[in-house]
Amino acid sequence: MLPKLKRRLFLILEVWTIHDSFSKIFDFFIITLIVLNVIAVSLATVADLRQRYYVLFQNFEYFSIAAFSIEYLLRLWSCTIDEHYKHPLWGRIKYMFTPLALIDLMAVLPFYLPMMIPDMRAARLFRLIRFLRFFKLTRYLKSFNLIKSVLNNKKEELIMTLGMVIILLFFSGSIIYFLENEAQPEQFANIPLAIWWAVVTLTTVGYGDVYPITPWGRLLGAVLAITGIGIIALPAGIIASGFAEVIEERKAQKYQVTTFICPHCGKMINSNDLKHARHRIKKEEIIEEWD
């Protein structure tokens, strides 16, 4: 009975591989818990809230650590079902060093470590590291398939665009440095700062912490900002054509159409229009012609 339970557990812990409502509930529970953890870690940095809801944060932390620890141990126990990790000891050690298992470990370890190394400074650091729990979502991100395949198809063009942006940033940063350095020695004190301005301008963020004030500096700023519009347009265009391609491919796979000539009248019929054909064509015949 135990091996059967282990197999069942293994399938539940896997992501949506089977149409198993219990597996879905489990996934939903873990995802919700991760999201709540991230929100809790965020809110706990607000001094006001931390003091008022101290006990609540504390208890939620204990509950999360318990849940994640049990999840980790169950994964470690049931992983031997997988062919790759089937050895009771070495298989489990091998599993422990897979990226996803390491992430799961990192999610709980910062809680247990300070117990062993009682050092206040380390404790604070470990508390911050709790944010790494967010990475536990990685396991569920596999479903971002379409977007990922589009980005993958267009990797080359997107990297080129990035390259152009970086060259443009260094270039315009250096020029603005020469143009504005004298007028604003504080704001444009050096080229890295000038590049910071170029980033803020080219991406059209425009905080307003640095901006040109000389006529030539403003002219360059205007050119850069207008170029920024084009730079935004490039990835948009690349990604748009990427989506169009991927969708077209999928559609082509779905509606594979065969065109053939009706043996009775010579009219061309495609497989989608079979039911509208003038002559009744025997199904065996057609199926024979398809494959």
Interacting positions 226-255 with a second copy (CB under 8 A): 226, 228-245, 247
Alpha-carbon Rg for the chain, nearest whole angstrom, is 30
| By the rule CB under 8 A, 12 interacts with a second copy | no
Site map for a second copy, 108-147, x if CB under 8 A? --------------------x--x--x--x------x-xx
**Closest separation in Å from C-beta 22 to a second copy:** 24
Query: Burial of 112 by CB count in 10 Å (0-12 exposed, 13-18 middle, 19+ buried)?
Result: exposed
Region for 281 from its dihedrals, namely left if φ exceeds 0, alpha if ψ lies in -120 to 50, beta otherwise: beta
CB closer to a second copy, 70 vs 222 = 222
Number of residues in contact with a second copy, rule: CB under 8 A? 88
- The tokens 């809790």 sit on which residue? 40
- Tokens describing residue 148: 């990922």
**Closest separation in Å from C-beta 96 to a second copy:** 25
**Closest separation in Å from C-beta 149 to a second copy:** 12
Site map for a second copy, 272-291, x if CB under 8 A? -x--x-x---------xx-x
- Within residues 49-78, the interface with a second copy by CB under 8 A covers none
CB closer to a second copy, 83 vs 182 = 182
Within 8 A by CB and 6+ apart from 57, the residues are: 40, 43, 44, 50
Distance CA 112, CA 109 (A): 5
CB closer to a second copy, 76 vs 262 = 262
- The tokens 């020695």 sit on which residue? 185
Q: Which of 45, 59, 98, 152 binds a second copy (CB under 8 A)?
A: 45
CB closer to a second copy, 66 vs 244 = 244
Residue range at the interface with a second copy (CB under 8 A); choices 89-97, 105-113, 116-124, 149-157: 149-157
Distance CA 8, CA 263 (A): 55
Start-to-end CA span in the chain (Å): 46
**Which residue, among 214, 226, 204, has the nearest Cα to 176 in the 3D structure?**
214
- Within residues 191-220, the interface with a second copy by CB under 8 A covers 191-192, 195-196, 199-201, 203-209, 211, 215, 218
Residue 200: other Cβ atoms inside 10 A: 16
For residue 254, what are the CA distances in angstroms to 247, 248, 249, 251, 257?
A: 10, 10, 9, 5, 9
**Closest separation in Å from C-beta 50 to a second copy:** 9
**Closest separation in Å from C-beta 148 to a second copy:** 10
**Closest separation in Å from C-beta 12 to a second copy:** 23
CB closer to a second copy, 126 vs 134 = 134
Residue 234: other Cβ atoms inside 10 A: 16
- Within residues 166-185, the interface with a second copy by CB under 8 A covers 167, 170-171, 173-174, 177-178
